[in-house]
Chains A and B, each alone.
Chain A
């Protein structure tokens, strides 16, 4: 029994991404939602379920209410979902659950904010530093940036497994290689490993180019029942497996450091789908920092623990590589508008499975893994999507 497979992703949409002046969070979300509805051949009148996430650019007590009001929706299923960076993947799983339990027939999942225009990069870095990712009494007084919290994972990985700065840089170079083929990406000019290593050190061992962008943008996905999907415009893409994993709230007390609960999320998603990492043609992995991708490749089972650095060498996850990863360019190069960031990975997986990814299309993409990571590598959601 799998109610998950009775769902289908039938519409995807992105707003403009990068620096998009003069747009509120609702403006951006409308742009993405309208694009997704048009992609599906649906309108707001067909939507009876709504999922969204909190934003950091508005003072909203009730994000789902603000978004529903903006779109004139009175959905019978409505929620603000927050599993941090894993929210994009998780919204698809929750939408499928709403369908399977008869609470909705068509769910709009939408998120986004003008993170760059509202804050600017420096201000956003400060906002994030004070946002509670570091424990307010036991961590924040020491002065970590959010990137510092991931740098602690990176440093340990390097010292424990011999992972090098060049191997971390390979991830950034691969993302930029994909972004160069994505017209909506924020950063498209090519970079080399040397460029990453020469970029300013933010918090060792992470350079500026090891860190995600700050962006304006929004993204939307429409999930409906398989029966309905057959009559719509696009080839339906099916969620075959979904799983979450959680290990810790604060990195300071997490002793395993380089082994994450993405292993639990991935194991659950692969098991439900009845497939293994070897069956996957394209992996859309959350890439808030270069180290994140290396740890996910290991914990999700694409390579053994400690071998992620060697795995990404030689352009293996970039264009033309053996395992195409995060083929829109990810948070590192395409854009990162807050909690919406990880939902672009879902949208890109759908494009790849439809065969609509243009010059970055992966040949024979039939099964995709999408992985979202939240908090300080403590909260995870994996989705296996298929062309069924």
Chain B
């Protein structure tokens, strides 16, 4: 069995956020699984996400979980609901905590995490990188 995560992580390495859409029921899902969690179908087609989403929750981290993160605190870990429906963990960048609210419209960008991973992060709409 191929790793169901591989297409997502390969996309991340190219600054692309692609979602697995079920070829039977048509719904996308995250986190990636070998079968569609909505209907159990195993054939999935990976398509580019719009990059638009809304803020579902967040937490500003003040204590680093490991020395890798010590230089970055405080940073905002967030849950973002993508326009297509699925939700993912990410960070919100370029936004003070006071500006955050549920449903805040966000747009995708990519950033390198302290461990070296290239990962999707989100910024408020209209804030340029």
Are the CB atoms of B59 and A203 closer together than 8 Å? yes
Given A141-B119, A143-B65, A204-B60, do A253 and B113 touch, yes or no (CB 8 Å)?
Answer: no
CB–CB A138/B88 < 8 A: yes
Contact A156 B114 (CB under 8 A): no
Q: Is the CB of B57 within 8 A of A155?
A: yes
Identify whether the interface residues of B are mostly helix, strand, loop, or mixed. Answer: mixed
A156 and B66 in contact (CB under 8 A), knowing A138-B88, A252-B31, A252-B88? no
A281 vs chain B, min Cβ distance (A):
35
- Cross-chain contact A137 with B9 (CB below 8 angstroms): yes
Is the CB–CB distance between B63 and A145 below 8 Å?
Answer: yes
Given contacts A126-B66, A135-B89, A204-B97, are A143 and B75 in contact (CB under 8 A)? yes
- Indicate whether B56 reaches chain A with its CB closer than 8 angstroms: yes
Q: Are B81 and A148 touching (Cβ within 8 A)? A: no
Give the residues in chain A near B66, CB-CB below 8 Å: 126, 129-130, 143
Q: Which of A138, A152, A160 contacts B77 (CB 8 A)?
A: A152
B65 touching A160, Cβ below 8 Å: no
A66 to chain B, nearest CB (A): 29
Q: How far is the CA of A254 from the CA of B57 in the complex (A)?
A: 11
Instruction: Report if A129-B31 is in contact (Cβ < 8 Å); known contacts: A139-B89, A204-B97, A252-B87.
Output: no
Given the known interface contacts A145-B65, A203-B59, the answer about A160 and B102 at a Cβ–Cβ threshold of 8 Å is: yes
Q: Tell me if B46 is interfacial: C-beta within 8 Å of chain A.
A: no
Minimum C-beta distance from B33 to chain A (A): 10
Kindly state the interface size class of chain A when it binds its partner.
35 or more
Query: Which chain B residues in 70-117 approach chain A with CB under 8 Å?
Result: 72, 75, 77-79, 81, 86-91, 97, 101-102, 113-115, 117
In chain B, positions 1-60 with a C-beta closer than 8 Å to chain A are: 5, 8-9, 30-31, 56-60
A141 near B117 (CB under 8 angstroms)?
Answer: yes
A200 to B62, CA, bound (A): 9
Chain B's closest residue to A152 (CB) is: B57
Q: Which of A137, A142, A156, A254 contacts B5 (CB 8 A)?
A: A137
- Which residues of A lie under 8 Å from residue B56 when comparing CB positions? 156, 255, 257
A129-B65, A144-B65 as given contacts; A156 in contact with B87, CB under 8 Å: no
* Interface pair B62/A252, CB less than 8 Å apart: no
Query: What residue of chain B has the Cβ atom nearest to residue A150's Cβ?
Result: B59
CB distance from A145 to the nearest CB of B (A): 5
Q: Is B60 touching A203 in the complex (CB atoms < 8 A)?
A: yes
Task: Give the chain B neighbours of A200 by CB distance below 8 A.
Answer: 62
Give Cα A253 to B31, complex, Å. 6
Q: Nearest CB to that of A252 among chain B residues?
A: B89
Tell whether, in the assembled complex, residue A145 and residue B31 are in contact, meaning their CB atoms are under 8 Å apart: no
> How far is B46's CA from A52's CA once the two chains are assembled, in angstroms?
44
**Residues of chain A contacted by B102 (CB below 8 angstroms):** 156, 159-160
A201 close to chain B: CB less than 8 A: yes
A143 near B117 with CB under 8 A, answer no
Q: Please state if A142 and B119 are interface contacts (CB–CB under 8 Å).
A: yes
Given the contacts A138-B31, A257-B57, A152 and B63 also touching, CB distance less than 8 Å: no
Chain B residue at minimum C-beta to C-beta distance from A258: B57
Please name all residues of chain B whose beta carbon is closer than 8 Å to the beta carbon of A205 when the two chains form the complex. Answer: 59
Contact partner of A143 (CB less than 8 A), chosen from B5, B77, B81, is B77
Q: List A126-166 residues whose CB lies under 8 Å from chain B.
A: 126, 129-130, 134-135, 137-139, 141-145, 148, 151-156, 159-160
CB distance A126 to B65 under 8 Å? yes
How far is it, in angstroms, between the C-alpha of A138 and the C-alpha of B119 when the chains are bound? 8
**A-B pairs with lowest CB-CB distance, top 7:** A252-B89, A129-B65, A151-B59, A156-B57, A143-B69, A141-B117, A141-B113
Please list 28 pairs of residues, one from A and one from B, whose beta carbons are closer than 8 Å in the complex, sorted by A's number.
Answer: A126-B65, A129-B65, A134-B89, A135-B89, A137-B5, A137-B9, A138-B31, A142-B91, A143-B75, A143-B114, A144-B59, A144-B65, A145-B65, A152-B77, A152-B78, A155-B58, A156-B57, A201-B60, A203-B59, A252-B31, A252-B79, A252-B88, A252-B89, A253-B30, A253-B87, A253-B88, A254-B87, A255-B56
Add 11 more A-B contacts to A152-B57, A152-B77, A254-B87 (CB < 8 A).
Answer: A129-B66, A138-B89, A143-B114, A156-B56, A159-B101, A202-B61, A252-B79, A252-B87, A255-B56, A257-B56, A257-B57
